[in-house]
Amino acid sequence: MKNIKKFIAILSVLAMLFAVGCSAQQAPEAAETDTSTSSEVSAPAEEADQTFTYVCGTEPSTLDPHMANATIDGQMCLQISEPLVMRNQKSEIVPWLAESWEANENGTVWTFKLRQDVTFTDGEPFNAEAVKYNFDRIGNPDTKSPKASIVRMIESTNVIDEYTVEFVLNTPCSVFLAQVSSYTCSMLSPKACEEYGAEVGRNPVGTGPLMLKDWNYGSSLTFVRNDNYWGTPATTEEVEVKIVAEDTARVMMLKTGDADVIANVPMVQIADLESDNNVKVILEEGYRTIFIGMTSGKVEELADVRVRQAINYAIDQQTIIDTLLRGIATYPDSGMVSSVIDNSALGVGCYEYNVEKAKQLLTEAGYPNGFSITLDTPEGRYAMDRQVAEVIQAMLAEIGINVEIKVLDWGAYTERGVNGEHELFLLGMGCPTGDPEYNLYQNFGRGSQNYSFYTNELVDKLLEDQASIVDPDARYDVMYQLQKELVDDACAVPLYYEMQSYGCRSNVDGFILYPNEIINLAYLVRN
C-alpha cells in the first residue's frame, strides 16, 4: 500500500511540474484531427456583443439531440435546442418550451400546454405538430437513436390543438416528466430534419439562445446569438468552443487569458489556480459517478463474479480521493448512483479495500497468478482521467492483474464501447434526467451505453418494475433492491462521485452550471 501511495504522489507531482513547465510557454492550439436560458436569467443589455472562448477536453459527436450519446453531446446540443421542461439549479423540474402540464390519475396520459411565442431559428413555428414530429422521430427505429429507450413508454403522441400535445403511455410511468427533461427530448425544426436527414447533427436548427455558426471538426465549434430568441436574449455575441484534450494545456489557456472558461480542472492544479487573482475556480456537486466498467459479457475472466469482486476489493477508493484528487470527490457510499441524486441507495456502500480477499477470490476463480487485460480511458473527458487509470493499473498489479492502458480520443473510445471491444474501461455515469432509472438502464440494462454487455435478469425486471410504480416510497424500495443487486453482482467498480470543476477568468460572470452537468454559455458577461 505504501508503494501505491508513493506512486500516486509521484503522479501528482509530475502533473504539477508539467503544468509549471508549460506555464512559461504559449498555450498550444487545439490539435487538429442551464443551459439555462429561462427568464430567470437577467441579461444587462450593455453586456451584449461580447465574444468568449470555452475550452473543453472532448468534441461532441453530434448536435442532433436525438442522436446524442454522451454528456458532451448534450451540453453542446442544449446551447441550440431545448426540451419541453428542464431541471433548474435546484434540480427542480420547471416549464421551458411547455408552459404547463398535467397527468391523469393513473399517470398514463400527460397533456402539455406549449408556449405560443417560440419559433425555430429557420423561421418555422414551434407547435404541437413539431413536438409530435420530434417524439415520433426519437422513437422511430429508423432514426436509430441511441437513447430511444427514453421514450419507450410512449404509445402515441397526439396533437390536441396548435399548442396542446398529449402523450399516451402504455403503462403508468413515474419518471416520465424526468425523461422529458433530458437533452434527448430537445426540439429540432422538422423542416431542417427533413432537409438535412442524417446530417442534421451537423446542421442543427433549434429554438435556443444560440445558433451554430461553424464547426471546425477536431478543433472547435462556434456559436452565435439567436436574436429572435423567445426568452432572455443571450449576452454573448459569439462563443468559440475549443477542443483541447490535455489538462495542463487547458489550464495554461485559462492562465494566459486564451480561454475565458475551461472544463475539468485537474485537482492537483486547483490550489495554484485559486492563488491566481486573474482566475476563479468553480466546484459544484454533480450527479456523475466515475467507475471502472468490466466487459463481463465479452471477456471470459470478467464473466466470473469472483473476478469482478476481486477487482472491486483491490481498488482503494479513499486513497485515490485523498491523494490524487486532493479530497475533491466523494466516496461512493451509495454504490453506482451518486448520493446527491434522488432515489440513490443510501448506505448500500461498495467493496472495502482488501488485497488479501481479492487474491483469495482470484485463486478460487482459477487465476492464482492473475491475468493480463487492457484498460481503456479517455483523456480530457473527466478531470485527471488518465492519471486515475494509471493508479488503477498500479493497484491491480498488487493482485497479479497486468493492465495495459489504452488512452483514446472520445470518438474512438465510444466506438470501442459500442462494438464491445473494451475489456476494462474508465467511464463516467451521469444522470441527465436527475433520476437514476435513466443511467442504470443505459449502463447496466438494455440501453445504448451498456459497454460492459452486462446482463442480469433480476436487474432487467427491477428496471421495468420501478418505472410503473407511482407511489414514491414503494418505488424507492424497488430502486434500492436494484442498486444493491448491482453491488452484490459486482457489475462495476464505483470509484468516486465527481465534483464538477471549471475555471473562469476572474472578470467573467454568468456561467451557469447544473447538477446534471448541463452548462450555459449564452449568458457570459465580462466585467
According to the model, what pLDDT value does residue 7 have?
62
Domain 287-499: CATH architecture, name and number where available: Roll (3.10)
Please report, for residues 99, 338, 412, the alpha-carbon distance to residue 464 in angstroms, rounded to integers and kept in the order given: 30, 21, 32
User: How crowded is residue 200: how many other Cβ atoms within 10 Å of its Cβ?
Assistant: 21
Q: Please, what is the average pLDDT of the chain? A: 90
Percent of the chain with pLDDT over 70: 91
According to the model, what pLDDT value does residue 28 have?
31
Q: Which of 41-55, 88-102, 166-180, 436-450 has the lowest mean pLDDT?
A: 41-55
Percent of the chain with pLDDT over 90: 78
**Region 454-458: what's the mean pLDDT?**
96
According to the model, what pLDDT value does residue 164 have?
98
Q: Could you report the per-residue pLDDT of 262-311, keeping only the tens digit for each?
A: 999 999 899 999 999 999 999 998 899 999 999 999 999 999 999 999 99
Confidence grade of residue 175 (pLDDT, cut at 50, 70, 90): confident
Res 203 pLDDT > 90: yes
Domain 14-63+202-284+504-526: CATH architecture, name and number where available: 3-Layer(aba) Sandwich (3.40)
Class of domain 85-195: alpha beta
Confidence grade of residue 4 (pLDDT, cut at 50, 70, 90): low
Res 13 pLDDT > 50: no
According to the model, what pLDDT value does residue 91 have?
87
According to the model, what pLDDT value does residue 3 have?
65
CATH 3.90.76.10 range(s) for the chain read 85-195
| CA angle in degrees (0–180, nearest 5) for 405-289-469 | 135
CATH 3.40.190.10 range(s) for the chain read 14-63+202-284+504-526
According to the model, what pLDDT value does residue 46 have?
45
Q: Which residue has the cell 458577461?
A: 525
CATH 3.10.105.10 range(s) for the chain read 287-499
Q: Could you report the per-residue pLDDT of 83-137, keeping only the tens digit for each?
A: 999 999 888 999 999 999 999 988 899 999 999 999 999 999 999 999 999 999 9
Res 16 pLDDT > 80: no
The Cα 71–Cα 513 span in angstroms is 13
According to the model, what pLDDT value does residue 431 have?
87
The Cα 211–Cα 158 span in angstroms is 29
Helices then strands, each counted (H, E), the chain: 15, 21
Q: Could you report the per-residue pLDDT of 381-439, keeping only the tens digit for each?
A: 898 999 999 999 999 999 999 999 999 998 899 999 999 999 999 999 988 888 999 88
- Strands 85-87, 154-161: parallel, antiparallel or unpaired by DSSP? unpaired
Cell numbers at residue 113, please? 400546454
Q: Which of 28-42, 82-96, 202-216, 416-430 has the lowest mean pLDDT?
A: 28-42
Confidence grade of residue 184 (pLDDT, cut at 50, 70, 90): very high
Instruction: Please give the biggest Cα pair distance in the chain.
Output: 70
Confidence grade of residue 174 (pLDDT, cut at 50, 70, 90): confident
Cell numbers at residue 288, please? 456523475
According to the model, what pLDDT value does residue 66 have?
98
Res 1 pLDDT > 80: no
Res 40 pLDDT > 80: no
Confidence grade of residue 15 (pLDDT, cut at 50, 70, 90): low
Res 169 pLDDT > 60: yes
The Cα 502–Cα 506 span in angstroms is 12
| Residues 141/158, Cβ–Cβ less than 8 Å | no
| Beta strand ranges found along 32-108 (DSSP E) | 50-56, 85-87, 93-95, 98-103
pTM above 0.75, yes or no: yes
According to the model, what pLDDT value does residue 256 have?
97
According to the model, what pLDDT value does residue 439 have?
87
| Residues 502/494, Cβ–Cβ less than 8 Å | no
Q: Which of 35-44, 221-230, 464-473 has the lowest mean pLDDT?
A: 35-44
According to the model, what pLDDT value does residue 31 have?
30
What DSSP assignment string belongs to 249-289? HHHHHHHHTS-SEEE---GGGHHHHHT-TTEEEEEEEEEEE
| Residues 298/453, Cβ–Cβ less than 8 Å | yes
